[in-house]
């Protein structure tokens, strides 16, 4: 059985610390035998054995293998002639990174641990009573961590505690006698290591739970013996469910308190007939309920926002429909029309709402949302009676201003009278998707000019880099995550949004040659994050980020105007629809956008 994760820990040399450059050189891996529950592991360190691509492409430097505790980056990694792998690590300048770096300088933290994955290995059956030997011929180091508690120390080499109770420590006797006789098991030492491992596991889970108010879930995973990685996955799912509940509540705020029956009885067709002929008393009487609902919707908008027509509570947009012309509506007029078999137009998939974009309904006028751009910092006082230096947090604002999205439909009198499929439902559904498609595209690529909102791709300050080719390598998909992680923004509704060409490449391209594992996993994730696919994305573009930081502001519902004059001789009425929205991002660094430009 192939374990998903391994770690080894070694001491670092304090002489290799460069305070000015904020770097340290460490030896993170060697051919030292290590006892695992499967057998004795030996990592070969030949020229082709250690795959350093991931580390040399900006590999992460963590604390205790915690991906949320990112303090630096791997500048370079290599395998030396003594068959030992070494790396130069550079620390960030944030508060947490500076804290860890100072501990390294002071000698408080002297152990580094590497997380790695087996790629190719052979198992040599041990003699009777002897453990098997696992000779790992190729392995992939993927991060380097500073750790506090090693599982054991032998001649300057320590190894970090595993997250499972199956860890068996290797003693000097085991190393000397692996080929001669079965070593004695130090039960006391084994139990002590298991206790330490359990404490670390429980502490890491509770620390994550405290940040996200998930104590009950944490206790469940601790009691069931689940790993920290399992808890992180469950926690992300819980956060996503909470975000969905919040979005549902926000959407409900724009409702008028109508019951399901009242919503169903609202007829867009009666509104359209009333607007088409202001002098038709019968049409106005028939649409009395609908006109009252529209009036109340307009009142909720307030006096600051003047309607040019009627406000419709649901979102509605339309396309041209005509009873007499093929493809324009004639197919809907028939003696025996199979309404349930109506074939809708093929449209681009909508992704930004699915990915986690936040809807802010019921806006009035321009909206400014305060944003903190920097926090107060602590300073050291040089003398006993010295004064503290003022260090205030800094703020700015994220603005949402109304921008109009418009479309129109032209409907003939005969179509309204004869359509057996239900022209109202057809127009309503078609307009909802049309409006949503336009808003979705604006959220990604809005230019910020010519009346458009500013989409993610055109936001100032987002992370960008150029791909080496049309399709990214596995290392480049990892770099997208790293760019967001480096800015402390790896949180929230994280995921990729790609086009079908990107999906094809990610599905057929191996992470590393010969492993059989593709960039896009079988569960539809890339590097553990969901990947949404849509033709809304320009070919060869890739997006990654926290989509909860994309805000979509909405002013009221749909506004509808009527034009019965342009085609009055044809008996056709034009209905013009408006939806007022804007988009903004809370933190541009929450996103990474790249292509091969």
Residue 459 half-sphere exposure, CB side, CA atoms within 13 Å?
A: 27
Output the pLDDT for position 214.
78
The β-bridge partners of 395 are: 372
Residue 421 half-sphere exposure, CB side, CA atoms within 13 Å?
A: 23
Dihedral sign from CA coordinates of 305, 308, 310, 311: negative
Does residue 577 contact residue 531 with C-beta atoms inside 8 Å?
Answer: no
Alpha-carbon gap, residue 367 to 399, rounded angstroms: 6
Structure tokens, 96: 């947490």
For residue 101, how many other CB atoms are within 10 A of its CB?
Answer: 24
pTM for this entry: 0.49
Q: Is residue 268 part of a domain?
A: no
Q: Is residue 365 part of a domain?
A: no
Question: How do the residues of the chain divide into helix, strand and coil, expressed in percent and rounded to 5?
Answer: 30, 30, 40
* Cα 34 versus chain centre, distance: 37
Task: Find, among 31, 1, 30, the residue nearest to 132 by Cα.
Answer: 1
Output the pLDDT for position 320.
39
Alpha-carbon gap, residue 196 to 192, rounded angstroms: 6
Give the phi and the psi of residue 562 in degrees, each rounded to 5.
Answer: -125, 140
The β-bridge partners of 372 are: 395
Task: Find, among 63, 9, 101, 117, the residue nearest to 515 by Cα.
Answer: 117
What is the distance between the terminal CA atoms of the chain, rounded to a whole angstrom? 43
What single DSSP character describes residue 340? G
Q: Is residue 371 part of a domain?
A: no
Alpha-carbon gap, residue 32 to 512, rounded angstroms: 25
Give the phi and the psi of residue 523 in degrees, each rounded to 5.
Answer: -90, 10
Range of the domain at 15: 6-185
Residue matched to tokens 């909102």: 453
For residue 263, how many other CB atoms are within 10 A of its CB?
Answer: 13
Q: Is residue 356 part of a domain?
A: no
DSSP secondary structure string for all residues of 433-492:
HHHHHHHHHHHHH-BSSTTPPBPGGG-TT-EEEE-SSSS--HHHHHHHHHHHHHTT---S
Domain count for the chain, please give it.
1
Each residue's pLDDT expressed in tens, for the chain with a length of 597 residues: 444 466 666 666 555 788 889 999 988 888 888 877 677 889 999 888 999 999 998 899 999 888 888 999 999 999 998 899 999 999 999 889 999 999 888 888 888 888 888 899 998 888 877 888 989 999 999 999 988 754 333 322 333 334 323 333 333 333 344 444 445 556 556 666 666 677 777 777 777 776 667 778 887 887 777 877 777 767 766 765 664 454 444 433 445 667 767 777 777 777 777 777 777 788 788 888 888 877 777 776 655 555 556 777 643 333 333 444 444 444 444 444 443 434 444 556 678 888 889 888 767 667 777 666 666 567 777 777 676 665 555 666 788 888 888 877 777 777 666 544 456 666 666 667 777 888 899 999 999 988 899 999 999 999 999 999 999 999 999 999 999 999 999 999 999 999 999 999 999 999 988 888 999 998 899 999 999 999 999 999 999 999 999 999 887 667 777 777 777 777 777 777 788 889 999 999 999 999 987
Q: Is residue 426 part of a domain?
A: no
Q: Is residue 111 part of a domain?
A: yes
CA angle 409, 410, 416 (to 5 degrees): 110
Alpha helices in 151-265 (DSSP H): 172-177, 187-212, 215-223, 228-252, 260-265
3 state DSSP class of 49 = coil
Residue matched to tokens 């926000």: 250
Output the pLDDT for position 2.
42
What residue ranges in 266-386 does DSSP mark as E strands? Answer: 310-312, 358-360, 367-374
Q: Is residue 67 part of a domain?
A: yes
Q: Is residue 84 part of a domain?
A: yes
């Amino acid at each position: 059985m192939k374990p998903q994760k391994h770690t080894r820990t070694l001491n670092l040399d304090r002489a290799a610390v460069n305070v000015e450059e904020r770097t340290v050189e460490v030896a993170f891996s060697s051919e030292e035998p290590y006892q695992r529950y499967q057998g004795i592991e030996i990592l070969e360190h030949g020229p082709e054995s250690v795959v350093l691509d991931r580390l040399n492409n900006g590999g992460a430097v963590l604390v205790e293998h915690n991906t949320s505790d990112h303090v630096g980056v791997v500048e370079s990694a290599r395998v030396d002639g003594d068959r030992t792998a070494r790396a130069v690590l550079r620390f960030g300048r944030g508060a947490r990174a500076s804290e860890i770096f100072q501990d390294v300088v002071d000698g408080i933290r002297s152990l580094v641990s590497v997380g790695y994955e087996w790629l190719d290995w052979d198992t040599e059956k041990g003699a009777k009573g002897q453990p098997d030997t696992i000779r790992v011929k190729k392995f992939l180091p993927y991060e380097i961590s500073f750790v506090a508690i090693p599982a054991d120390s032998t001649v300057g080499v320590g190894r970090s505690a595993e997250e499972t109770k199956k860890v068996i420590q290797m003693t000097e006797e085991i190393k000397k006698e692996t080929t001669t006789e079965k070593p004695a098991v130090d039960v006391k030492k084994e139990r002590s290591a298991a206790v330490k491992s359990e404490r670390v596991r429980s502490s890491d889970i509770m620390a994550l739970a405290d940040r996200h108010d998930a104590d009950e879930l944490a206790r469940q995973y601790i009691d069931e013996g689940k790993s920290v990685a399992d808890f992180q996955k469950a926690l992300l799912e819980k956060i996503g469910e909470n975000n969905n509940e919040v979005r549902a509540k926000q959407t409900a705020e724009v409702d008028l308190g109508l019951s399901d029956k009242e919503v169903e009885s609202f007829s867009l067709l009666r509104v359209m007939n009333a607007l088409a002929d202001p002098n038709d008393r019968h049409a106005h009487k028939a649409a009395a309920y609908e006109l009252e609902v529209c009036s109340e919707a307009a009142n909720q908008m307030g006096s600051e926002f003047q309607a040019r027509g009627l406000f419709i509570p649901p979102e509605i947009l339309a396309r041209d429909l005509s009873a007499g012309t093929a493809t324009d509506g004639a197919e809907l007029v028939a003696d025996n029309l199979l309404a349930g078999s109506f074939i809708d137009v093929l449209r681009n998939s909508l992704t930004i709402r699915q990915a986690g974009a936040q809807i802010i309904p019921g806006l009035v006028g321009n909206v400014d949302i305060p944003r903190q751009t920097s926090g107060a910092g602590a300073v050291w006082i040089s003398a006993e009676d010295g004064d503290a230096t003022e260090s205030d947090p800094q703020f700015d604002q994220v603005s949402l201003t109304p921008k109009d999205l418009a479309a129109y439909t032209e409907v003939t009198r005969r179509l309204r009278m004869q359509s057996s499929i239900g022209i109202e439902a057809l127009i309503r559904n078609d307009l909802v998707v049309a409006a949503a498609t336009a808003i979705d595209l604006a959220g990604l690529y809005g230019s910020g000019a010519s009346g458009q909102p500013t989409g993610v791709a055109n936001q100032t300050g987002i992370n960008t880099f150029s791909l080496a080719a049309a399709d990214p390598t596995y290392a480049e998909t990892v770099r997208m995550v790293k760019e967001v992680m480096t800015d402390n923004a790896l949180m929230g509704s994280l995921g990729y949004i790609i086009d079908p060409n990107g999906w094809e490449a990610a599905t057929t391209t191996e992470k590393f040659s010969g492993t059989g594992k593709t960039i896009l996993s079988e569960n539809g994730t890339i590097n553990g994050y969901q990947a949404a696919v849509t033709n809304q994305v320009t070919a060869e573009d890739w997006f990654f980020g926290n989509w909860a930081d994309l805000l979509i502001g909405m002013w009221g519902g749909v506004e509808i105007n009527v034009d019965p004059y342009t085609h009055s001789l044809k008996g056709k009425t034009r209905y013009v629809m408006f939806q007022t929205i804007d988009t903004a991002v809370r933190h541009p660094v929450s996103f990474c956008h790249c292509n091969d430009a």
